[in-house]
Amino acid sequence: MVDAIAEQTNGVVAILPATPAGLITSKQLEKIAKIANDGAGLVKLTSMQRMAILVKKEQIDSVRDELAGVDMKIGVVGKREVWNPMGCTGALCKYARQDALADAIAIAAHAGTKAPRQVKIGVSGCQNSCAWSKVVDIGLVGTKDGYDVYIGGDAGRNPRIGQKLKNVSKEDAVSVVKEIVDKFNTYGKDGEHLYQVIERLGLDVF
């Protein structure tokens, strides 16, 4: 696994703690604020529901220890692994059909799993798709019967909407993500996007 530590142009480094579904406790926020104050005094929110803490290079080891003290670790950002999933507010939202927040946290157990290329995941509780579920590699969209599963989306240089694979029950939400990642590892070439596997072999292989 590749730690989410990125050197910046101004000489500091950005450390991104693992924040499954963008969820952070108040104690963790207090610790992040302390780490930031000891560093560059800044925290940057990212588009993937993460926080980038700007610190000096020599602080990396101490930051790792401080995060561990509040049950956090540095996230993963490797180009060949599964990233922490994004999740909407789930059952806290009046529009939710499924508790996407809880399910995204469960899916986060797969973060760091090897893959031909990074795998971005979004879990949304309804068709509003607040967690980008239709423009990421694997997206779950809540329905009254479970989740519609979309794969092959991308919001990068070649944006595209994911294709609907199937509908699964809430109970199968975690296992279907693992199943897709396993097949991506089986059929994908090194460095290949998930959507490129679909273009090459078709949706049926998943």
153-190 pLDDT per residue, tens: 999 888 999 999 999 999 999 999 999 999 999 999 99
- Portion of the chain with pLDDT greater than 70, in percent: 100
Do 63 and 12 fall into the same domain?
Answer: yes
How far, in Å, CA of 179 to CA of 147, rounded?
A: 15
Q: pTM of this prediction?
A: 0.92
Do 64 and 99 fall into the same domain?
Answer: no
How far, in Å, CA of 101 to CA of 142, rounded?
A: 11
Residue 66 has pLDDT above 90, yes or no: yes
Do 147 and 53 fall into the same domain?
Answer: no
Nearest CA to 147 out of 116, 129, 179, 170 is that of 170
CA 15 to each of CA 60, 81, 86, 123: distance values in angstroms, whole numbers, following the listed order: 8, 18, 18, 24
Residue with structure tokens 């809430």? 170
Q: Are 165 and 151 in contact (CB under 8 A)?
A: yes
The CATH number linked to 31 is 3.30.70.3340
Do 62 and 99 fall into the same domain?
Answer: no
How far, in Å, CA of 165 to CA of 149, rounded?
A: 5
Do 96 and 42 fall into the same domain?
Answer: no
Retrieve residue 115's tokens. Answer: 């893959």
Burial class (CB in 10 A: 0-12, 13-18, 19+), 153: buried
Do 190 and 115 fall into the same domain?
Answer: yes
Q: Radius of gyration of the chain from Cα atoms?
A: 17
Nearest CA to 13 out of 63, 49, 81 is that of 63
Instruction: With cut-offs at 50, 70 and 90, classify the pLDDT of residue 81.
Output: very high
| Residue 105 within any structural domain of the chain | yes
| Residue 55 within any structural domain of the chain | yes
Q: Give pLDDT tens digits for 88-138.
A: 999 999 999 999 999 999 999 999 999 999 999 999 999 999 999 999 999
How far, in Å, CA of 116 to CA of 70, rounded?
A: 32
Question: Residue 181: which H helix or E strand, with range?
Answer: helix 173-187
Q: How much is the pLDDT for 5? A: 87
Do 201 and 108 fall into the same domain?
Answer: yes
The residue range of the domain holding 158 is: 86-205
DSSP classification of residue 49 = S
Do 104 and 171 fall into the same domain?
Answer: yes
The CATH number linked to 93 is 3.30.413.10
| Residue 73 within any structural domain of the chain | no
Which of 68, 96, 116 marks a domain boundary? Answer: 68
Nearest CA to 80 out of 193, 202, 206, 196 is that of 193
Do 63 and 112 fall into the same domain?
Answer: no
Do 95 and 171 fall into the same domain?
Answer: yes
Do 104 and 58 fall into the same domain?
Answer: no
Total domains in the fold of the chain: 2
Q: What is the mean pLDDT of residues 59-72?
A: 95
| Residue 48 within any structural domain of the chain | yes
Helix, strand, or coil (residue 108):
helix
Q: Are 129 and 139 in contact (CB under 8 A)?
A: yes
DSSP classification of residue 85 = P
